[in-house]
Amino acid sequence: MEIARVAVLGAGLMGHGIAQVAAQIARSEVYLTDVRQEFLDRGVKMIDDSLGRFVKKGELTENDRAEVKKRIHATLSLKEAVREADLVIEAAPEEAQLKCQLLSGVDKATPQRTVIASNTSSISITMLAAATKRPERFCGMHFFNPPQLMKLVEIVRGVKTSDETVQTIKMFAEKMGKETVVVKKDAPGFIVNRILIPALNEAIFLVQEGVAEPADIDKAIKLGLNWPMGPLALLDYIGLDTTLSITNVLSGETGDPKYRPSPLLRQMVRAGLLGRKTGKGFYDWTEKK
Same domain, 16 and 88: yes
Q: Which residues contact 24 (CB under 8 A, 6 or more apart)?
A: 51, 60, 68, 148
Same domain, 205 and 71: no
Q: What confidence score (pLDDT) does residue 13 get?
A: 87
Pair 240, 276: CB distance under 8 Å: no
Identify the domain boundary among 183, 207, 225. 183
Label residue 210 left, alpha or beta by phi (over 0 means left) and psi (-120 to 50 means alpha): left
Q: Which residues contact 194 (CB under 8 A, 6 or more apart)?
A: 187, 188, 250
Q: What confidence score (pLDDT) does residue 122 get?
A: 87
Identify the domain boundary among 156, 183, 210. 183
* Within a domain: 189: no
β-pair type (152-156, 138-143): antiparallel
Same domain, 106 and 221: no
Question: Max Cα separation, the chain?
Answer: 55
* Within a domain: 52: yes
Provide the domain limits for residue 260.
195-270
End-to-end Cα spacing for the chain:
40
Same domain, 68 and 140: yes
Identify the domain boundary among 133, 162, 183. 183
Q: How far apart are CA 53 and CA 144, in angstroms?
A: 19
Q: How far apart are CA 175 and CA 221, in angstroms?
A: 34
pLDDT along the chain (289 residues), means of 10: 94 95 97 96 96 96 96 97 97 94 97 96 94 98 94 98 98 98 94 94 97 98 97 95 92 91 97 95 84
Same domain, 82 and 167: yes
Q: What confidence score (pLDDT) does residue 288 get?
A: 57
β-pair type (179-183, 72-75): unpaired
Same domain, 119 and 212: no
Q: What confidence score (pLDDT) does residue 2 get?
A: 87
Same domain, 228 and 118: no
Q: What confidence score (pLDDT) does residue 278 get?
A: 94
The count of residues in the chain is 289
In 3D space, the residue among 242, 269, 251 whose CA is nearest the CA of residue 94 turns out to be 242
Q: What CATH number corresponds to the domain at position 130? A: 3.40.50.720
Q: What confidence score (pLDDT) does residue 115 get?
A: 98
Q: What CATH number corresponds to the domain at position 230? A: 1.10.1040.50
In 3D space, the residue among 82, 89, 133, 132 whose CA is nearest the CA of residue 110 turns out to be 82
* Within a domain: 100: yes
* Within a domain: 25: yes
Same domain, 144 and 244: no
* Within a domain: 286: no
* Within a domain: 229: yes
* Within a domain: 259: yes
* Within a domain: 70: yes
Same domain, 55 and 152: yes
Same domain, 54 and 170: yes
Number of domains in the chain: 2
Same domain, 77 and 206: no
Q: What confidence score (pLDDT) does residue 8 get?
A: 98
Catalytic residue set: 121, 142, 154, 193
Same domain, 236 and 108: no
In 3D space, the residue among 124, 92, 76, 129 whose CA is nearest the CA of residue 107 turns out to be 129
